[in-house]
């Protein structure tokens, strides 16, 4: 799990370079050759303009109460090449959280839109119940239908409705936060939940705790188990408990892990458990999302065989980067920022308080600067730590700090574990740099909130758990395994074409899954990934002491094909429908035939010698 902090202005993941334009507050761009800029700036000031930005080959200025045609009339000068409106630019991603303050209005997290959960109505009469095995759900947050929530107390971990940290409360909000005009809305708003608190005061538990928790979930009548947790090493007791829950018709969902490597984490790695990876708001895989192989090897030496099992690797993904959800009351941090009176996207860094002052640009703030005295420091990211930038601002007499990202998107950061500063400090998006650097004043407020951001496959997992409950509530005749299959059959293919180790089948799309089950019923098979229209077969023989594998295929579309043996490229050869591989070693060998240079491949065929 990775934690970022809550913003109350524009709750958005600003990762793309796409923007929306709108008319902008009497502000205009005046294009002029740099050698003539002095004359034009003087003319602009003479005509009532207020200079905001001096750029390369242009200046920006405001002319209060004037429209474009009026400004063109005022600045009738041969040195001016062009005058145009200076349109606002707001950072966007493919999917964004709603704008506003979750303490006073209801916001919809981006993953709800991304997954189409806002397009399907939750059937609250269907009897769905999600069992959340985590750190407890704190009763202090009122964004839940508490009459629908039960839990299991444990002498070692304490009461289920008292948090052992914010993680469990955040997870539960993603699943089932109420649709009640405040806070956030979950994937299955108001769904019945049973909470099992398994983490002790040190923040960990045992595999036996999870096995016991699975039994508690079953006794509570849960349909779905959601686990945003994991660790190394398989355990048969734990595995058997989740297998029994699945065999009884349930669905178990768990996080792939956050180390960004190919290690298989458990319980997600058990075949009876659906492993979930994380993507961001732009449909990119999260850099922390683990991606274990789907291959499993049995036997040793010459008797070793390798097969592919899609139930032991990532099956689907969902939004898990900077996910907005519920916190125990007052445990999250909120921030708001206004520049020259206009609200702007921001993120809290450190130090509560509310300040208003004139802005002063400090560059990268690598040293104290007397010009910052009494002002809000505007600082560029880079070269030194965020903490030292803010400290230099404060030691210069600055009353607050705004640190601007040096790459596309919002700056989410803290001042570290040994913060020695006291002035409010916030982050800002790179896309807003020009407006902030050219501003006159700023208003910063940092306080506490009941809602905040976290990142991790821990956040993607409850999203899928909630979506599964949403889907299942409309198709109660299905089993958990059939719901699992429908999620995979209709996921949006992302990353490499076809199923891959990062996204699995792709990003969950619930409206598509709902339509799929309506059309095909619960028994529909998983739709094959894109491609896969090549059919291959193999026969074996021996001659002159060598093993021969005679491959034949149909359906390839390129002039040459790639032949893979045990997932390594064996050769590229003409697409004539046959190829013979000869070698002397023994063992099990897996082959597939692919269109050259593509992921359009046949199913694997295995031979043994």
Residue spans per domain, the chain: 2-6+333-449, 24-86, 108-324+456-520, 535-608
Residue 56 CA to chain centroid, in angstroms?
Answer: 37
pLDDT at residue 288 greater than cutoff 50: yes
Q: How confident is the model at residue 7 (pLDDT cuts 50, 70, 90)?
A: very low
Over pLDDT 70: what percentage of the chain? 91
Average pLDDT over residues 184-212: 88
pLDDT at 566: 84
Q: Selecting from 1.10.10.10, 2.60.40.10, 3.20.20.80, 3.90.1170.10, what CATH number does the domain 535-608 have?
A: 2.60.40.10
Each residue's pLDDT tens digit, 364-414: 999 999 999 999 999 999 999 999 999 999 999 999 999 999 988 888 888
Record the tokens describing residue 395, joined without a space.
């030691």
Over pLDDT 90: what percentage of the chain? 60
d(CA 324, CA 334): 12
Check if CATH label 3.30.465.10 holds for domain 24-86. Answer: no
Q: What is the mean pLDDT of the chain?
A: 87
Q: How confident is the model at residue 27 (pLDDT cuts 50, 70, 90)?
A: confident
Fold (topology level) of 108-324+456-520: Rossmann fold (3.40.50)
pLDDT at residue 19 greater than cutoff 70: no
Contact 496, 599 (CB under 8 A): yes
pLDDT at residue 255 greater than cutoff 60: yes
Each residue's pLDDT tens digit, 525-556: 544 343 357 989 999 888 766 788 889 988 88
pLDDT at residue 143 greater than cutoff 70: yes
pLDDT at 524: 66
Strands 129-134 and 192-197 turn out to be parallel
d(CA 575, CA 578): 8
Q: Which of 13, 28, 53, 56 is nearest to 429 (CA)?
A: 13
The CATH architecture of the domain made up of 2-6+333-449 is: 3-Layer(bba) Sandwich (3.50)
Q: How confident is the model at residue 81 (pLDDT cuts 50, 70, 90)?
A: very high
Q: Which of 333, 330, 334, 325 is nearest to 450 (CA)?
A: 330
Average pLDDT over residues 320-330: 92
pLDDT at residue 298 greater than cutoff 90: no
Q: 3-state SS of 361-397?
A: ECCCCCCCCHHHCCCEEEEECCCCCHHHHHHHHHHCC
Residue with tokens 């032949």: 563
Q: Which of 194, 126, 226, 228 is nearest to 471 (CA)?
A: 126
Average pLDDT over residues 110-130: 96
pLDDT at 136: 93
pLDDT at 530: 39
pTM over 0.75: no
Each residue's pLDDT tens digit, 422-440: 999 999 999 999 999 999 9
Distance set, CA 594 to CA 113, 499, 600, 608 (Å): 36, 14, 6, 21
DSSP character at residue 86: -
pLDDT at 99: 60
pLDDT at residue 252 greater than cutoff 90: yes
How many CB atoms within 10 Å of residue 156?
12
Q: How confident is the model at residue 201 (pLDDT cuts 50, 70, 90)?
A: low
């Amino acid at each position: 799990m990775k934690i970022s902090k809550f913003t109350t202005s524009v709750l958005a993941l600003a990762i793309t370079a796409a923007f929306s334009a709108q008319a902008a507050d009497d502000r205009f761009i005046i294009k002029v050759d740099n050698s003539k800029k002095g004359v034009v700036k003087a003319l602009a000031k003479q005509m009532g303009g207020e200079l905001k930005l001096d750029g390369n080959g242009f200046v920006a200025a405001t002319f209060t109460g004037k429209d474009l045609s009026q400004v063109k009339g005022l600045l009738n000068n041969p040195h001016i090449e062009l005058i145009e409106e200076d349109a606002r630019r707001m950072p966007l991603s493919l999917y964004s959280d709603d704008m506003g303050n979750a303490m006073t209005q209801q916001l919809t997290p981006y993953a709800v839109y991304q997954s189409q959960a806002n397009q399907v109505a939750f059937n609250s009469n269907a009897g769905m119940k999600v069992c959340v095995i985590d750190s407890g759900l704190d009763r202090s947050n009122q964004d839940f239908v508490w009459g629908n929530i039960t839990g299991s107390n444990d002498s070692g971990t304490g009461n289920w409705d008292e948090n052992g940290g914010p993680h469990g409360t955040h997870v539960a909000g993603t699943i089932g936060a109420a649709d009640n005009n405040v806070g956030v809305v979950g994937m299955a708003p108001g769904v019945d939940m049973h909470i099992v608190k398994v983490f002790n005061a040190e923040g960990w538990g045992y595999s036996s705790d999870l096995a016991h928790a699975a039994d508690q979930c079953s006794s509570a009548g849960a349909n779905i188990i959601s686990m945003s947790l994991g660790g190394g090493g398989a355990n048969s007791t734990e595995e058997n408990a989740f297998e029994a829950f699945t065999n009884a018709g349930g669905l178990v969902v768990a996080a792939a892990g956050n180390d960004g490597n190919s290690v298989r984490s458990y319980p997600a790695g058990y075949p009876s458990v659906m492993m979930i990876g994380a993507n961001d708001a732009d449909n990119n895989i999260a850099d922390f999302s683990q991606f274990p192989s789907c291959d499993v090897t049995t036997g040793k030496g010459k008797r070793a065989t390798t097969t592919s099992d899609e139930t032991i690797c990532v099956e689907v993904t969902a939004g898990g980067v900077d996910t907005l959800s519920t916190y125990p009351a007052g445990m999250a941090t909120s921030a708001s920022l206004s520049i020259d009176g206009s609200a702007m996207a921001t993120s809290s860094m450190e130090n509560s308080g509310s300040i208003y002052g004139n802005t002063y640009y400090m560059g990268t703030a690598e040293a104290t600067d007397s010009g910052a005295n009494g002002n809000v420091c505007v600082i560029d990211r880079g070269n030194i730590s965020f903490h030292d930038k803010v400290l230099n601002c404060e030691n210069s007499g600055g009353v607050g700090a705004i640190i601007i990202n040096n790459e596309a998107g919002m700056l989410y950061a803290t001042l570290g574990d040994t913060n020695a500063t006291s002035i409010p400090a916030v982050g800002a998006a790179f896309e807003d740099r020009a407006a902030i650097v050219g501003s006159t004043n700023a208003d910063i407020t940092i306080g506490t909130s009941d809602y905040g951001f976290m990142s991790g496959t821990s956040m993607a997992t409850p999203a899928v758990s909630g979506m599964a409950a949403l889907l299942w509530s409309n198709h109660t005749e299905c089993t958990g395994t059939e719901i699992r299959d429908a999620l995979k059959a209709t996921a949006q293919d992302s990353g490499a074409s076809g199923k891959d180790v990062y996204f699995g089948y792709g990003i969950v799309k619930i409206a598509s899954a709902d339509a799929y089950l309506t059309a095909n019923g619960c028994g529909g098979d998983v739709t094959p990934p894109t491609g896969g229209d090549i059919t291959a077969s193999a026969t074996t023989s021996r001659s002159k002491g060598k093993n021969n594998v005679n491959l034949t295929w149909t359906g390839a579309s390129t002039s040459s094909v790639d032949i893979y043996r045990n997932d390594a490229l064996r050769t590229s050869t003409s697409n004539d429908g046959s190829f013979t591989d000869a070698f002397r070693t023994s063992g099990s060998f897996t082959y597939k035939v692919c269109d050259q240079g593509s992921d359009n491949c046949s199913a694997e065929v295995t031979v043994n010698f």
